[in-house]
Structure 1
Amino acid sequence: MSDTKLPWHFWAVGILALVWNGFGATDYLMTQLENRGWFAFMGMDEATTDVALAWIAAQPAWMSALWALGVWGGLAGALLLLARNRLAVPAFLVSLVGAAGSFVASLQQEVPPELEDFGGGAIMYVVIVLAVFFTWYAWTMRNRGLLH
């Protein structure tokens, strides 16, 4: 491990990655568990939650797998980055592949009108930009010898 002092932004980016990907992992888990309290927390009423659950249940398994790769890869990447472990790079890369696959798949889907205000749209661009950023950042920190 390098004795090089960590730049000020290392902890800021690491904590941002942890919070962002932690929220994504929580969303994935609560959705897969069909936690109605989570859907209410996200602003959905009972009728909209019913539509969302039916729509999600109708999705092919590979779409859920891409989503899982995105969120769990990102969470692993954030934890590994904060631990200064070089495996943060491939973990964030897995997250990027999952996020990109989910994004492409979402462009091919017709979203029920009741769900248009929840997820998708602009948030998918934010997901992709942050996945690229976190991957690049971990790669840069590894190349500077700050991850071991």
Structure 2
Amino acid sequence: MSGLGMGERVSTPWHIWVVGVVAVLWNGFGCFDYTMTQTQGDAWLTSMGMTEAQMAYFHATPAWAHAAWAIGVWGGLLGGLFLLLRRKWATPVFVASFLGWAAGMVYAFGLSNGMEAMGPMWPMQIVIGAACVFFIWYAWTMQKKGVLR
């Protein structure tokens, strides 16, 4: 509960626009990467600097892990848009995005040799997870303050 009376409006803080735009751009690149990977395949993976071994690992990834990736990136983009629109749906959608990322990490680091296959690229997964947590926290905080409706 925000403690606001009926009809009271909460002003929109300047930082919601910054965080919202960053969320859209950050997750937008993830959506672009996902789309290019699914439509251009090895040509895209090679252009991103993947080795033959990394591409083989990627091709062996089960469909459910690819679905988790899709939920992660598309959920993050939608969460960013909800944040910009000041909608409280941003929080649960960012949570769904985080769960998509987490499921992918269960596969990559718990059920396969993802760390070995990714080589020096694996720490990026930690950065992505931290970004997911930040976006959840931020949306939850804005919702609690009554900025998101």
User: SS state of the match for residue 131, structure 1?
Assistant: helix
Letter in 1 for 2:15: H
Please tell me whether the aligned partners of residues 76 and 91 of structure 1 are also in contact (alpha carbons under 8 angstroms).
yes
- Mapped pair 1:110 → 2:113: yes
CA RMSD of the aligned region, Å? 2.2
TM-score (structure 1 length as normaliser): 0.83
Q: How far apart are residue 84 of structure 1 and its match?
A: 0.9
Give the aligned partner of residue 67 of structure 2. Answer: 65
Task: Tell me by how many angstroms 1:55 deviates.
Answer: 2.6
Alignment of 1:2-81 (within 5 A): 3-36=9-42, 38-44=44-50, 48=51, 50-81=52-83
Superposed CA deviations along residues 27-58 of structure 1, whole A, max 9, x for unmatched, are 111111134553354234xxx3x544433222
Count of residue pairs brought into register by the alignment: 142
Q: Residues 137, 33 of structure 1: CA spacing in aligned structure 2 closer, same or farther, 3 A cutoff?
A: same
CA contact (8 A) 1:6 1:146 kept: yes
Identical residues among aligned pairs (%)? 42
Unpaired runs of 5+ residues, structure 1, are: none
Partner of 2:4: none
Q: Give the direction of change, closer, same or farther, for the CA distance of 1:87–1:51 in structure 2 (3 Å limit).
A: same
Q: Which protein shows a greater Rg?
A: 2
TM-score, normalised relative to structure 2: 0.83
Alpha-carbon distance between aligned partners in 1 of 2:16 and 2:128, rounded to the nearest angstrom:
20
- Structure 1 counterpart of 2:90, one-letter code: A
- For structure 2, the 5+ residue unaligned runs are 1-6
